[in-house]
Structure 1
């Protein structure tokens, strides 16, 4: 993990600001959803990417009745339905 040398304090509500330089570098815009992970003693923030509910792929996804499904899984389901 690369250190940026940037230190931020957590405010009274538990918030902290991600510096604009990092947001620009990571292509994070206002209102972008972020995922929060915990790994041992680390908190990891990652820009949220919708992923397929079946295989976890984030490539070529579509929304079907509020669920994200990738094209590969759609093709597999179509093949199974045709049988």
Structure 2
């Protein structure tokens, strides 16, 4: 873990604003879903890993299409490709 030297206060609603520099480094853009976990005294934020619509697999390798409406794992993509080839014939 890298210390940034940045400090932020928690507001009355319990929120903390992430500086733009950190959001950009983590590829957090407007509307990004974030997973929150607690590890000891640390609160960890990471981009939500979306599950494949076909296999249910959650992986950083998943392909996200159609503005997040379609999520395919490598195995799910292979399956869909086979099905599409059959359909197109």
Deviations 1:45-76 (A, max 9, x none): 001120346543343458xxx9x66342675x
User: Residue 59 of structure 2 corresponds to which residue in structure 1?
Assistant: 57
Output the aligned Cα RMSD.
Answer: 2.6
Contact 2:49 2:58 in 1 (8 A): no
* Structure 1: 5+ residue stretches without partners: 76-83
Asked whether 1:33 is paired with 2:33, we answer yes
* Structure 2: 5+ residue stretches without partners: 80-89
Q: What is the DSSP-based 3-state SS (H/G/I as helix, E as strand, rest coil) of the residue aligned with 1:21?
A: helix
Q: Which has the higher helix share?
A: 2
Q: What is the DSSP-based 3-state SS (H/G/I as helix, E as strand, rest coil) of the residue aligned with 1:8?
A: coil
User: Are the structure 2 counterparts of residues 32 and 56 from structure 1 closer, same or farther at C-alpha, using a change threshold of 3 Å?
Assistant: closer
TM-score between both structures, scaled by the size of structure 2:
0.63
Contact 1:51 1:58 in 2 (8 A): no
TM-score between both structures, scaled by the size of structure 1:
0.67
